[in-house]
Amino acid sequence: MDLHIELGSVEGRRAGLERALRDAVRDGRLAPGARLPATRRLAAELGVSRGTVKSAYDQLVAEGYLTARQGSGTQVAALPAVSQDAPEAASRTRAPRFDLRPGSPDVGTFPAAAWLRALRRAIATAPSLAYDYGDPRGRIELRTALSGYLGRARGVIAPPERIVITSGYVQGLALLTRVLDGGEIAMEDPGLPFHREVVRRGGGSVVPVPVDERGACADGLGDCGAVVLTPAHQYPTGVTLHPARRRAFSDWARARGGLLVEDDYDGEFRYDRQPVGALQGMAPGHVVYLGTASKTLGPALRLGWMVLPPHLVDAVADAKLHSDHHTESIGQLALAELIGSHAYDRHVRACRLRYRRRRDQLLHRLGERRPVRGIAAGLHALVEVADEKEAVARAEAAGLAVGRLGDHWHAPDAEGRPQGLVVGYGTPRERVYPEALEALGTVLDGLGQ
């Protein structure tokens, strides 16, 4: 192994080597268990005698910084952990017994075998230039595969030349905010606070758009240049944007030259009827469609896509170039292979069945006791309660982590607003999910009506 060591110019060579190694262990630059170079090799690299290195090693072994065993060489010892000054700090950061927070899929269902096959085929056939810097819009293989998939599965008009690959939805939203040069951007209320912060940090100002039982309202958009919508399964209410509202937003965009930003959140997971097609198909010249593999495969892949109106493609590609040049290529090639072989479709269908069973279990356990909303699609449901602060406190005491509707309003904790728990059913593993629902049901049973 290579080892960067700087010997002091004032102290002796042995003392300088001891100090440098001791500091590296203390600072964590040399991790516990790391093997040190053989004495002969380190002596040659540092220009000192082998005896000097051996003496330094022996001294640090005696001090407990290193360990040495015959046949195993010299390694960094495991130093004792620093004790907690406040025991309650550990309890505050302890992982919940059951995690029912929304926003994540069951990552245990990641199709590792299918992904590995796709990755092998992609690497075996990839040209050498695939390992060089690439097009900021993304690999043409993935853009072509997505063009076909989005057209047939989501009703999106997506020529490959109008697709830009990103590292996820957040990057797509940030790039758009930059291209639009800030300005007023309307976002659903309630909605995800983190996405509002992305827009604000990109220089935009956020205007709330009320959401009711028919989805976001198209009235009162004023001078907004863009509206961000989650029409398939609104987060966190779970409502699907009504057809009349879809037409109203499309008409607004055409009449005002505005832009609709469609977050196709949970678009693949609809349970009680056929999936609702993407809004983009109604006004492709005025809609930016954003999708990702985060819910279907896993957030760790960091693969997303934007389908852009023609007039925005060059500007977004330039912003992407100056953001991170391009999204990593090997994962793009693997996903293109996964889509092209239809293994992606098979995986999505299997997940849809699995999540529908979980949704049905949630309704069976909780639906008879509390109104449960937003259950036609997606990976979360909204459970109505009279006092969500009390409900969250009781849930935490029972080792449950859940979301809180009040955290999603543009003006949190305003009086007179509906209250509820945002319950995700994607994260828990299959074997513990029934127990998690039982624990949540017990918490809700203990609440007043």
CATH code of the domain covering residue 38: 1.10.10.10
Q: Does some domain include residue 142?
A: yes
Q: Does some domain include residue 184?
A: yes
Q: Residue 71 is encoded by which pair of tokens?
A: 């046949």
Quote the strand ranges of 77-214, DSSP E.
98-99, 163-166, 183-189, 204-212
Q: Does some domain include residue 328?
A: yes
% of the chain surpassing 70 pLDDT: 95
CA distances from 336 to 129, 148, 344 (A): 17, 11, 9
**pLDDT tens digits, 327-363:** 999 999 999 999 999 999 999 999 999 999 999 999 9
Least confident of 155-169, 225-239, 404-418: 404-418
> Are 67 and 118 contained in the same domain?
no
> Are 262 and 321 contained in the same domain?
yes
> Are 140 and 284 contained in the same domain?
yes
> Are 353 and 321 contained in the same domain?
no
pLDDT for 403 equals 94
Q: Residue 84 is encoded by which pair of tokens?
A: 């907690």
> Are 166 and 219 contained in the same domain?
yes
**pLDDT tens digits, 197-228:** 999 999 999 999 999 999 999 988 878 999 99
Q: Is the peptide bond before 190 cis (omega within 30 degrees of 0)?
A: yes
> Are 397 and 302 contained in the same domain?
no
pLDDT for 80 equals 64
Q: Does some domain include residue 336?
A: yes
Say which residue, 139 or 3, is predicted with more confidence.
Answer: 139
Note whether 385 and 351 are within 8 A (CB): no
pLDDT for 412 equals 75
Asked whether the predicted pLDDT for residue 77 surpasses 50, the reply is yes
| 35, β-bridge pairs | 75
**pLDDT tens digits, 262-310:** 999 888 898 987 778 899 999 999 999 999 999 999 999 999 999 999 9
% of the chain surpassing 90 pLDDT: 71
> Are 164 and 306 contained in the same domain?
yes
Predicted structure pTM score:
0.84
Question: CA 278, CA 262: separation in Å to the nearest integer?
Answer: 8
Amino acid (1-letter code) at residue 17 = L
pLDDT for 90 equals 43
> Are 392 and 327 contained in the same domain?
no
Q: Does some domain include residue 91?
A: no
Q: Among 323, 344, 365, which residue terminates a domain?
A: 344
Coil vs helix vs strand at 184: strand
Question: CA 314, CA 307: separation in Å to the nearest integer?
Answer: 12
pLDDT for 429 equals 86
Q: Among 344, 363, 398, which residue terminates a domain?
A: 344
Q: Among 292, 321, 344, which residue terminates a domain?
A: 344
Q: Which domain holds residue 27?
A: 13-76
Q: Residue 261 is encoded by which pair of tokens?
A: 């930003």
Asked whether the predicted pLDDT for residue 155 surpasses 70, the reply is yes
DSSP 208: E
**pLDDT tens digits, 8-48:** 766 788 888 898 899 888 888 888 989 999 999 988 988 88
Q: Does some domain include residue 4?
A: no
Write the CATH number for 213: 3.40.640.10
Q: Does some domain include residue 5?
A: no
Average pLDDT over residues 232-260: 94
pLDDT for 88 equals 46
Q: Does some domain include residue 92?
A: no
How many domains is the chain built from?
3
**Given the structure tokens 């700087």, which residue do they identify?**
6
Say which residue, 211 or 182, is predicted with more confidence.
Answer: 211
Parallel, antiparallel or unpaired: strands 259-263 and 73-76: unpaired
Asked whether the predicted pLDDT for residue 424 surpasses 70, the reply is yes
pLDDT for 86 equals 46
- Among 290, 258, 268, CA closest to 158: 290
Write the CATH number for 363: 3.90.1150.10
> Are 50 and 123 contained in the same domain?
no
pLDDT for 188 equals 97
**pLDDT tens digits, 82-123:** 444 544 444 445 678 899 999 899 999 999 999 999 999 999
Run of H or E residues at 420: strand 420-424
Give the count of beta carbons closer than 10 Å to the beta carbon of residue 364: 11
Run of H or E residues at 395: helix 388-397
> Are 72 and 196 contained in the same domain?
no
Note whether 157 and 280 are within 8 A (CB): yes
pLDDT for 344 equals 97
Parallel, antiparallel or unpaired: strands 372-373 and 183-189: unpaired
> Are 143 and 288 contained in the same domain?
yes
> Are 121 and 103 contained in the same domain?
no
Average pLDDT over residues 377-381: 92
pLDDT for 212 equals 94
pLDDT for 448 equals 65
